[in-house]
Structure 1
Amino acid sequence: MAGRHPVPDRAWRGFAAAIVCGVVALAVGYLALAVLVDPYETGRVTLLSRGAVRPQGPRTAVALRGRDEAYRGALIGNSHLQLIEPATLSRLTGIPFVQLSVPATGPAEQFAVLRWFLRHHPKPEAIVLAADAFWCADDPAFPSEHPFPYWLIGDWTSYLRGLFRLTAAQETVNRIGWLFSRKRQSAAADGWWDYEPDYLALGYGRDPKIRERLEIPASAEPETHRAGPFPIEARLSAALAEVPPATPVVLLFPPVYAAAEPPTGSPRAKAEASCRGAIRAGLSRHPLSAVVDWRDGRPQFRDPAAFFDQSHYRLPVAQAIGAEIANAIIRLQSSDPDPGARPWQPRRTP
């Protein structure tokens, strides 16, 4: 048509190149800002570090707590270990403990957290793990139904890739706001979360219908993908190979309510016993290790008031477990050849 001239290809190429350069510049600018702000306080850049945990979920807060040099012992597990108060272990053993448990995780995530803690604490004074049903899967990858931010506690390449996600961008903005807030709030430094009030608010411990669920008997057959063989022995051995031989490692078999125990002699009971045997075998390769077994038929397991559901125990049970874990750590520290020969005595905090 008269009066119109086609735009040369060179002009289109220049326009496209300008857009691409602009996008790249924005991406590089955002990445530089995110690395500087360090939204989850991984410690890779500490220019804006405030030494406090910004309120957030344990999945991301584990990055800061796991590198905090104020702590020399760690509790690593999921909600079946979360109720153990680190301050109790600190008081009884003299070791400053941090709670690094993350709900709805299994051994794959927990060993990643252990690796992160060891990266920042090459010579820890104690490690506490909890082996529950998630450890008894027959898939060596131990897949989880819930996403876990491996990138956050991984290498630099994974970290940089991980920052290119909407949630990370949002947290970058949130942390900037938190840094400049006059009423800056912080979460518990040691990571302890007393979830009793949350369960009580949902009716646990009071609602008759919820309490009825406690009495549902366990099946005699193993759950899907939990019949064995169990690859946890090799995975645990590999994880503990990174722990210094002089570091006490205590592994808890957390309790379940009596009705959740499979019938004696059933295929499920045999499978679970076989799994615990594999876990013990893996643990035994660490020279300074002990098991705290709360799957041994104690009277508390038959008390419905001691549990919220079949696998989540209440605070009084947690306190008893904490004391037994502390006892085991003290025995390991003293290398007592006969730990049952003398009664347990709490250690005074220096």
Structure 2
Amino acid sequence: MSSSTSSSEARWGGFGRTFLIAAAGLAAALLALAFLVDPYDSGRSPLKLKTGVSPQGPRTAAASRGRDPHFSGAIFGNSHIQLVSPELLAQKTGIPFVSLIAPATGPREALVLLDWFLRHRKEPAKALVIGLDVRWCTPDPTLAIEKPFPFWLFERSSSRYLAGLIRFDVIEETLRRLRYLTAKAPERARPNGYWDYEAGYEVQGFHSDPARRAKLLEPLDTSGGNITGPFPAEAALRELLGRMAPDMPVVLVRPPNFVSALPAPGSAGARADAACRDTYAKLTASRPKTVLVDWRIDRPENREPDNYFDHTHYRQKIAGPLAADIAAAIIGLR
């Protein structure tokens, strides 16, 4: 090997080492910055930072909302409980509510957010509202998720949280966080988490679309098909509730479905639906101050097509009365 070749290899080797060291240093600096500015307001930074976060999706904004000491009641679930207004519940019960829903999530995500909310209360929560759609009826022990969810953000483990910060979208959010922290009057994500999707549906013309109405009238099986069990989501919820104060009010809600998405009496779907409902009814019967509010039944509101955008997403015409029933249930538990 010639001396020139050896010299060239040495130079490239030195460059490679320098590059790796520089890259590692940059990564460490970015991680330290993200930890200090706390892009999702998780409360882990040693610095005293501005409250709240800039507008972002509910999956990450829940970290800030869930630890806000102003709220002593919370709503959990997905878009099937999303239109239940925390403001209306607060007005009727006197309990400040936050909505910790996340669209396209299931029991696994809801239980993580429930645990996050509870462990950030200095005093016991005054009421919990949990939406139980068909995903809570699954026999799948893994409680599989449909869309990505930032489980790392709600971890008890600091090392797992730090590992979660090492991703490109965190860098982007860290920059937005810096702008939020340095602005005099920054735009803030809504503190109570309420997100009214009705306006979005209206803009897209869902309500006036004849094809939508025709599809709504077609039968749809939303029973989940689990007639014999097991119901791992119920077991996980029971275990979590067992770690809570027994006098903490809990309202389980079976959200409304349009009548064409309700199983026909005597069908396999009806048996599966009943099995799931009975499982959660037994849970409520076994725990003090726990009640099941069931709107997944054949009732006049669920027979009116104008009350629905699709088989499982209802409008404010149903959301208001549903919230009133939930509030009445909370008051009844006192």
TM band (smaller chain)? over 0.9
SS at match of 2:193: coil
1:206 aligns with 2:208: yes
Q: Which residue of 2 aligns with 1:144?
A: 145
CA contact (8 A) 1:228 1:275 kept: no
Q: How far did 1:197 drift?
A: 0.4
CA distance in 2, matches of 1:187, 1:8: 55
Tell me by how many angstroms 1:14 deviates: 5.2
- 1:179 — aligned with what? 181
Question: Which residue number corresponds to residue 261 of structure 2?
Answer: 260
Q: Is the 8 A contact 1:73 1:126 kept in 2?
A: yes
In structure 1, what is the Cα distance between the partners aligned to 2:80 and 2:5?
Answer: 73
The residue type paired with residue 325 of structure 1 is I
Distance in 2 between the 1:13 and 1:53 partners? 44
How many residues are matched?
331
Q: Distance in 2 between matches of 1:240 and 1:287?
A: 11
Instruction: Specify which of 153, 159, 162 is matched with residue 161 of structure 2.
Output: 159
CA distance in structure 2 between the aligned counterparts of 1:291 and 1:139, rounded to whole angstroms: 23
Deviation for aligned residue 1:195 = 1.0
CA RMSD in angstroms comes to 2.1
Q: Quote the Cα distance in structure 2 between the aligned partners of 1:278 and 1:293.
A: 13
By how many angstroms is 1:128 displaced?
0.4
Report the alpha carbon displacement of residue 12 of structure 1 after superposing the two structures with TM. 6.6
Question: How many angstroms apart in 2 are the aligned matches of 1:173 and 1:129?
Answer: 34
Match of 1:282 in 2: 283
The 5 Å alignment of 1:10-25 reads 15-25=15-25
Name the structure 2 match of 1:196. Answer: 198
Q: CA deviation at 1:8?
A: 9.3
What secondary structure does 1:67 align onto?
A: coil
- What CA distance in whole angstroms lies between the structure 1 residues aligned with 2:3 and 2:51? 67
- Cα deviation, 1:19-68, whole Å, max 9, x if unaligned, reads 33322221211111000111111111162522233111111100000000
Change (3 A) 1:41 1:137: same
Matched with 1:317 is 318
Provide TM-score, normalisation by structure 1: 0.89
Displacement of 1:179 = 2.3
1:232 touches 1:279 (CA, 8 Å); kept in 2?
no
The gaps in structure 2 that reach 5 residues or longer are: none
Structure-2 residue corresponding to 1:169:
171
Counterpart AA for 1:114: L
Gap change, CA 1:257 and 1:46, over 3 Å in 2: farther
Query: Larger deviation: 156-165 or 62-71?
Result: 156-165
- In the aligned structure 1, how far is the partner of 2:2 from the partner of 2:329? 92
**What's the offset of the Cα at 1:278?**
1.4
Please report how far the alpha carbon of residue 4 of structure 1 lies from its aligned counterpart in structure 2 after TM superposition.
3.1
The separation in 2 between residues aligned to 1:34 and 1:111, in whole angstroms, is 26
* Cα-to-partner distance string for 1:263-283 (whole Å, 9 max, x where unaligned): 111011101110111122234
Question: Residue in 1 aligned with 2:135?
Answer: 134
SS in 2 for 1:179: helix
- Aligned mates of 1:58, 1:23 — CA distance in 2: 32
Pair 1:283–1:49, CA change in 2 (3 A):
farther
CA distance in structure 1 between the aligned counterparts of 2:170 and 2:85, rounded to whole angstroms: 30
Letter aligned with residue 118 of structure 1: L
Sort the Cα spacing of 1:218 and 1:3 in 2 relative to 1 into closer, same or farther, 3 A: closer
- Aligned CA distance change for structure 1 residues 227 and 170 (closer, same or farther; 3 Å): farther
Q: Structure 1: how far apart are the matches of 2:47 and 2:137?
A: 43
Distance 2:102 2:215 in 1: 25
- When normalised by structure 2's length, the TM-score is 0.93
Moved more, 131-140 or 176-185: 176-185
Q: What amino acid does structure 2 have at the position aligned with 1:312?
A: H
Amino acid at match of 2:163: R
Task: Structure 1: give runs of 5+ residues left out of the alignment.
Answer: 334-350
Q: Which residue of 2 aligns with 1:346?
A: none
Give the superposition deviation at 1:228: 4.5
* Percent identical residues: 42
Partner in structure 2 of residue 84 of structure 1: 84
Matched-pair contact (CA < 8 Å) for 1:233–1:281: no
Partner of 2:292: 291
Alignment of 1:299-314 (within 5 A): 299-314=300-315
Cα distance in 2 between the residues matched to 1:198 and 1:21: 49
Question: Alpha-carbon deviations, 1:69-118, whole Å to 9, x = none?
Answer: 00000011111111111111111111111111111110000000000001
- Paired letter, 2:308: F
Q: Secondary structure at the match of 1:205?
A: coil
The letter of the residue matching 2:77 is: G
